[in-house]
Structure 1
Amino acid sequence: MTTLAEAVESLRPGDTVWLGNFGAQLFAVGEELVRQGAAGLHVVIASGGLLLDRLIGAGVVAEVTFAHCWNAVGPAPTPHFRRAWQAGADIRWHELPMGVLAAALGAAAHGVPFVPVRVHPETGYRDWAGGMLAEVASPFGPATVVRALPLDVAFVHASLADEAGNARIGAPPGEALVAAQAARRVVVVAEELGEVREVDLLGLLVDTVVVVPGAVAPDGVPGRYPRDVAAYQAYGRGA
């Protein structure tokens, strides 16, 4: 076990960092990144939302792989993200469909360079993916493939964890499990430390545990605390 500050201190510019899970954004990790003045990170986050917007505004992000970025309450735009995208900020963008992002993590977990995916030809993802997608030929026919996305560190949220790293993620787990398998180092950020009877993530995949009650607030954790809708609304108004 360690502290959140120590876990974040280990990051270096250029690291590829997963901040999950889908529907449970790790705002506690994001705020610690900002507090420590982190910069130059490749942030991987399926549900970008306010957390990604905050990190872009604070200058933490040099590269980002994501599925979407908006204020879920409204929905309303995320201002830092929008300004950076429209102004051509010095950020490398990789926007992928949720399933394709998960496939890229899965490729890294399996130790292969890419996997075939299906991307509808009438979408703009081939342009938005920033080089993550390619067309290949094979004896079985042509295919669209996504490049593997290995992670240096995965911060995975859990409702409950024990000292050995066994974790009960709860709903929704999203891409958390495959992200952990794709990562060189896994940090479980748990709401509570205790006995885990229903294990979603085995401790053998986990390097350290950080206990942070309220780790995803103002987002919510089913069965623990609800999303703070007023905080989301205030963010959308620029408060």
Structure 2
Amino acid sequence: MTTLAEAVATVGPGDTIWLGNFGTQLFAVGEELVRQDIRDLHVVLASGGLLLDRLIGAGVVAEVTFTHCWNAIGPAPTRHFRRAWQDGADIRWHELPMGVLAAALAAAAQGLPFAPVRVHPGTGYLTDDWSGGMLATVTSPFGDTTVVRALPVDVAFVHVDRADPDGNSVFSAPPGEAVAAAQAASRVVVVAEELGLPAGVRADLPGLFVDTVVVSPGAAAPDGVPGRYPRDIAAYTGRTP
């Protein structure tokens, strides 16, 4: 076990990091990255939202792989993201469908160079290269197919509801791609709302994948966590109480 500051301090410039789970944004980790002035990161998020917007605005991001970036509440947009995209900021963008991102992580977890995927031909993922070079077509004796490049992760910060000191963890909601990200990562930090597992509860993420545990109640705020605390609507709409 360690502190959040110590865990974030293991991240170095140029690292690829996974942040949070789909639907749960680890704002505490993002703010610590900003506080420690860690730059030039490849940030991977299943759901970008206000956390990705914050990291872009703070100059943390050199490369990003994501499925979307928006304010789920509104009306305040993700201004830093929008400005960087439209103005051609020096950021390498990789936008992928959710299932394709999961396949890229799974390929890395299995030590494969790529994974076959299905991408709708009527979208810009293929015609306009929204993926930023992560998609290609390969030919085999069995036919042609679209593939996604494997996405190995240096450090995965995974949000969990509970964890024991060995890293055995349970989620409070469906984890999305978090387990695949942990399997694809060289180092895994679980950020838990609470320490300890009830007797007889089976871990959703076994401790054998986990390198260290951080106990940080409220780590997702102002986002919400089912069964713990609600999303701060005022923060998402840009209003103060």
TM-score (norm 2): 0.96
Identity of aligned residues (%): 78
Where does residue 215 of structure 1 map in the other structure? 219
- Check conservation: 2:94, 2:132, Cα contact below 8 A: yes
The amino acid that maps onto 2:208 is L
Structure 2 counterpart of 1:132, from 134, 159, 179: 134
Structure 1 counterpart of 2:193, from 188, 191, 194: 191
Deviation at 1:104, TM superposition (A): 0.2
Structure 2 counterpart of 1:173, from 169, 175, 199: 175
Instruction: Tell me if 1:72 matches 2:72.
Output: yes
The amino acid that maps onto 1:129 is S
Deviation at 1:169, TM superposition (A): 1.4
Where does residue 231 of structure 2 map in the other structure? 227
Deviation at 1:14, TM superposition (A): 0.8
Aligned counterparts of 1:73 and 1:171: Cα–Cα separation in 2: 20
Aligned counterparts of 1:170 and 1:108: Cα–Cα separation in 2: 26
Tell which deviates more after alignment, 69-78 or 45-54. Answer: 69-78
Where does residue 56 of structure 1 map in the other structure? 56
**Structure 1: unaligned runs, 5 residues or longer:** none
C-alpha deviations, 1:157-187, integer Å up to 9, x for none?
0000000000011203110000000000000
Deviation at 1:232, TM superposition (A): 0.3
- Check conservation: 1:219, 1:228, Cα contact below 8 A: yes
Instruction: Tell me if 1:95 matches 2:90.
Output: no
Aligned counterparts of 1:131 and 1:180: Cα–Cα separation in 2: 23
Tell which deviates more after alignment, 98-107 or 226-235. Answer: 226-235
Greater than 3 Å deviation, 4+ residue runs: none
Where does residue 9 of structure 2 map in the other structure? 9
How many residue pairs align between the two structures?
237
Where does residue 146 of structure 2 map in the other structure? 144
Aligned counterparts of 1:208 and 1:188: Cα–Cα separation in 2: 7
The amino acid that maps onto 2:235 is A
Is the partner of 1:34 in helix, strand or coil?
helix
Aligned counterparts of 1:154 and 1:187: Cα–Cα separation in 2: 6
Where does residue 33 of structure 2 map in the other structure? 33
Aligned counterparts of 2:172 and 2:194: Cα–Cα separation in 1: 13
Aligned counterparts of 1:110 and 1:21: Cα–Cα separation in 2: 20
Aligned counterparts of 2:230 and 2:202: Cα–Cα separation in 1: 22
Structure 2 counterpart of 1:205, from 199, 209, 212: 209
**Structure 2: unaligned runs, 5 residues or longer:** none
Is the partner of 2:12 in helix, strand or coil?
coil
Aligned counterparts of 1:69 and 1:103: Cα–Cα separation in 2: 20
Is the partner of 1:33 in helix, strand or coil?
helix
TM-score (norm 1): 0.97
Deviation at 1:77, TM superposition (A): 2.5
- Check conservation: 1:21, 1:46, Cα contact below 8 A: yes
The amino acid that maps onto 2:134 is M
Please give the root-mean-square deviation of Cα atoms over the aligned residues, in Å.
Answer: 1.4
Aligned counterparts of 2:88 and 2:11: Cα–Cα separation in 1: 26
